[in-house]
Amino acid sequence: MPGFTTRPEIRGTFGVVATTHWLASSVGMSVLERGGNAFDAAVAVGLILQVVEPHLNGPLGEAPILVWDQKKREARMICGQGGAPQAATIARFKSLGLDLIPGTGLLAAAVPGAFDAWMRLLRDWGTMPLAELIAPALGYAENGYPLVARIRETIATVSEMFRREWPSSAVLYLPGGNLPEAGKLFRNTALAATYRRVLEEAHAGGGGREQVIDRARDAWYRGFVAEAIDKFCRTQKVLDASGRRHSGLMTADDMARWQVPVEVPVSYEYRGYTVLKGGPWSQGPVLLQQLALLQGFDLDDTDPTGPDFIHAFVECAKLAYADREAWYGDPDFVDVPMTALLSPAYNDARRKLVGERASLELQPGRPDGREPYVLFGGADVAPAAGIGEPTTGSLGGGLGEPTTSPLGMVAGDTCHLDIIDRWGNMVSATPSGGWLQSSPAIPELGFCLGTRMQIAWLDDKAQSSLQPGKRPRSTLSPGLALKDGEPYLAFGTPGGDGQDQWSLQLFLHHVHHGMNLQEAIDCPEFNTQHFPSSFYPRAAEPGSLTLEGRMPEATQHALAERGHRVRMGDTWSGGRLTACAREGTPDGVVLKAGANPRGMQTYAVGR
């Protein structure tokens, strides 16, 4: 059901890059032009996004990276999500009088995984020298980049708190005590100095490309970066979302003992497509569970902005996300029944729960007969008997991703990138965390720690409970898909709990509604916050359904009549999707890309 687009779908044969910032897209394409592969380009993009989108991600954040290696014909997930520090125990937080991990400050910092993830990608899949790929990020940090309006708006929201409580952030983001101007050049010379020192130490010992990269990793995790983090966490007490001041738990030893895992992604077969996502340490499999439920619906003839499609989608999303709450967690620590959750028998039974009316209940299932355990807002939820029977409990008002508080802290978000090169290699990555507004800058480094550990529950019966070394259940969720066994699609979006709703809408519009990538991205979006939020203060909005303002009025009324608690968002207010695709034709392979107009920042390039 093709329709109007804000821009053309990019098409070419050489390479395509789509990211959440035009500078990153241009840099990625320049790497491909210089002979680099998709993996080289992704590293350059990932590093520059940390500079030009500091309100969306940072060097001490996270970066899950899905790769398709065309030569080896295999997919891998580079899990750039670090685990909890050794001192991060439930007992430790309880001793501080906390029932939830604060959404800002130092206590919520997991081991920062992004740098090691990018370095592992470069060492094992890339071809180019580190210095060449870090140069654009270093150059923009040192010489300045045009500040987008949303960075200024973010800084403005927390400026008084920076001045009053986080002086190191005030020095960095309020030069001369003033707000930086949108559109003017903004510099982060401390970050540039950090990258220069990393390069100097990496090249100090000679050797080949791989040895240089490994020494850069050592400088970060076993050298001066880790030491600066250790010192800051030990010596500073920082105001956080609890309303109190706390020191951090991260140590140099936590940094030194961690290295990025590389895993086989979870997959699901859907109508000739093999869809690939991260494991249940992330929310990635929730997209696959939604597909397993939607297998039983005839979506080909549905209107993508009509009430029948949206109702079926949202009701299946509620069931899948309820399972996320009950069953997902780091599989190195807990048993996640992933095979059962994706099995036909389980989803046939779950699908029967989708009725004509909107569900207002949280309904986790019982894979393999196991009893679910779900928390929200710190309150215990006791599921009723029977597969998928309603879960009782009083759900409070919800917030967006990831945290807003009376203390002036504002929501962070996420970046995304998709790249396909002329050889058929694919990368999809969703960097996030280390937001400028969520933790004070470490002066020696020019950037701050992340707060991803706020996702972990302080209840040892929960699958996603806090435990030293355990990965918090991340919302970050890049996606890849094969078509008839061949590399086809790289796709994803920022947006916390909404990522695997908006990404799935793109996929379904492309597969069932005949839309090209740009049409699928531009199509009016929707999402629900029915389930507990992944982020502090962990609230939920049962039955909620947010529609973009372009959604037909008749659809709004029909969904409300079915019991959905409908609210209208702005005209262009949903997920900031990007996608790249590779399609074989009788005349050869065509590469395609699309990027989201929402936010006026995301661009696709290619030739």
Q: Does position 426 have pLDDT exceeding 50, yes or no?
A: yes
Residue-wise pLDDT for 488-543, tens only, equals 999 999 999 999 999 999 999 999 999 999 999 999 999 999 999 999 888 899 99
Q: In whole angstroms, what is the distance from residue 171 CA to residue 261 CA?
A: 36
- Joined together, the tokens standing for residue 253 give 């030893």
Q: For the residues 128-155, what does the mean pLDDT come to?
A: 97
User: Which residue is it, tokens 């069953």?
Assistant: 327
Contacts of 378 (CB under 8 A, 6+ apart): 99, 100, 458, 538
Instruction: Annotate 489-502 with three-state secondary structure.
Output: EEEECCCHHHHHHH
**Letter for the amino acid at 522?**
D
pLDDT at site 600: 83
Contacts of 182 (CB under 8 A, 6+ apart): 147, 148, 149, 151, 152
Q: What three-state secondary structure class fits 458?
A: coil
Q: Does position 400 have pLDDT exceeding 70, yes or no?
A: no
Residue, of 203 and 413, whose pLDDT is higher: 203
pLDDT at site 4: 75
Strand-strand pairing, 544-547 and 565-568: parallel
Q: Alpha helix locations (H) across 53-113? A: 90-95
Q: In whole angstroms, what is the distance from residue 479 CA to residue 477 CA?
A: 6
Residues 394-410 as b/e (b if ≥16 CB within 10 A, e otherwise) read ebbebbbbbbbbebbbb
Q: Which of 309, 322, 125 is nearest to 213 (CA)?
A: 125
User: Which residue is it, tokens 């109508």?
Assistant: 271
Q: Does position 202 have pLDDT exceeding 80, yes or no?
A: yes
Q: Does position 46 have pLDDT exceeding 80, yes or no?
A: yes
- Joined together, the tokens standing for residue 206 give 């000679």
Q: For the residues 98-127, what does the mean pLDDT come to?
A: 97
- Joined together, the tokens standing for residue 57 give 């991600």
Q: What is the CA radius of gyration of the chain?
A: 23
Residue-wise pLDDT for 257-294, tens only, equals 999 999 999 999 999 999 999 999 999 999 999 999 99
Q: Does position 431 have pLDDT exceeding 50, yes or no?
A: yes
Q: Which of 127, 129, 118 is nearest to 49 (CA)?
A: 118
Q: For the residues 368-394, what does the mean pLDDT come to?
A: 52
**pLDDT confidence bin for 205, thresholds 50/70/90:** confident
Q: Does position 391 have pLDDT exceeding 60, yes or no?
A: no
Strand-strand pairing, 526-527 and 441-442: unpaired
**pLDDT confidence bin for 418, thresholds 50/70/90:** very high
**Letter for the amino acid at 532?**
P
**Do residues 95 and 246 lie in contact, with contact meaning Cβ atoms separated by under 8 Å?**
no
User: Which residue is it, tokens 């995790």?
Assistant: 221
Q: In whole angstroms, what is the distance from residue 365 CA to residue 590 CA?
A: 42
Residue, of 588 and 4, whose pLDDT is higher: 588
Q: Does position 396 have pLDDT exceeding 50, yes or no?
A: no
| Chain center to CA of 596 | 16
Q: What three-state secondary structure class fits 449?
A: coil
Lowest mean pLDDT segment, chosen from 52-66, 137-151, 159-173, 567-581:
567-581
Q: In whole angstroms, what is the distance from residue 518 CA to residue 578 CA?
A: 9
How many angstroms separate the Cα of 158 from the Cα of each of 38, 102, 170, 277, 411?
37, 17, 10, 35, 11
Q: Does position 402 have pLDDT exceeding 50, yes or no?
A: no
Q: What three-state secondary structure class fits 566?
A: strand
**pLDDT confidence bin for 412, thresholds 50/70/90:** low
**Do residues 488 and 273 lie in contact, with contact meaning Cβ atoms separated by under 8 Å?**
yes
Q: For the residues 337-358, what does the mean pLDDT come to?
A: 98
- Mean of per-residue pLDDT scores for the chain: 93
Start-to-end CA span in the chain (Å): 26
**Letter for the amino acid at 352?**
K
- Joined together, the tokens standing for residue 580 give 């790249």
Q: For the residues 46-73, what does the mean pLDDT come to?
A: 97
Q: Does position 183 have pLDDT exceeding 60, yes or no?
A: yes
pLDDT at site 2: 60
Q: For the residues 7-23, what does the mean pLDDT come to?
A: 97
**pLDDT confidence bin for 118, thresholds 50/70/90:** very high
Element (H, E) at 120: helix 114-125
Q: In whole angstroms, what is the distance from residue 196 CA to residue 405 CA?
A: 36
Percentages helix, strand, coil for the chain (3-state, rounded to 5) are: 35, 20, 45
**pLDDT confidence bin for 378, thresholds 50/70/90:** very low
Q: For the residues 140-169, what does the mean pLDDT come to?
A: 96
State the CB neighbour count (10 A cutoff) for residue 142: 16
DSSP string, 479-548: EEEEETTEEEEEEE---GGGHHHHHHHHHHHHHHS---HHHHHHS--EE---SPPSSTT----TTEEEE-
Q: For the residues 106-121, what does the mean pLDDT come to?
A: 98
pLDDT at site 32: 98
- Joined together, the tokens standing for residue 190 give 């401390």
Q: For the residues 228-243, what does the mean pLDDT come to?
A: 97
| Chain center to CA of 368 | 30
Q: In whole angstroms, what is the distance from residue 450 CA to residue 85 CA?
A: 13
Residue-wise pLDDT for 297-333, tens only, equals 999 999 999 999 999 999 999 999 999 999 999 999 9
Q: In whole angstroms, what is the distance from residue 114 CA to residue 101 CA?
A: 22
Angle at 330 between CA 63 and CA 378, to 5 degrees: 100
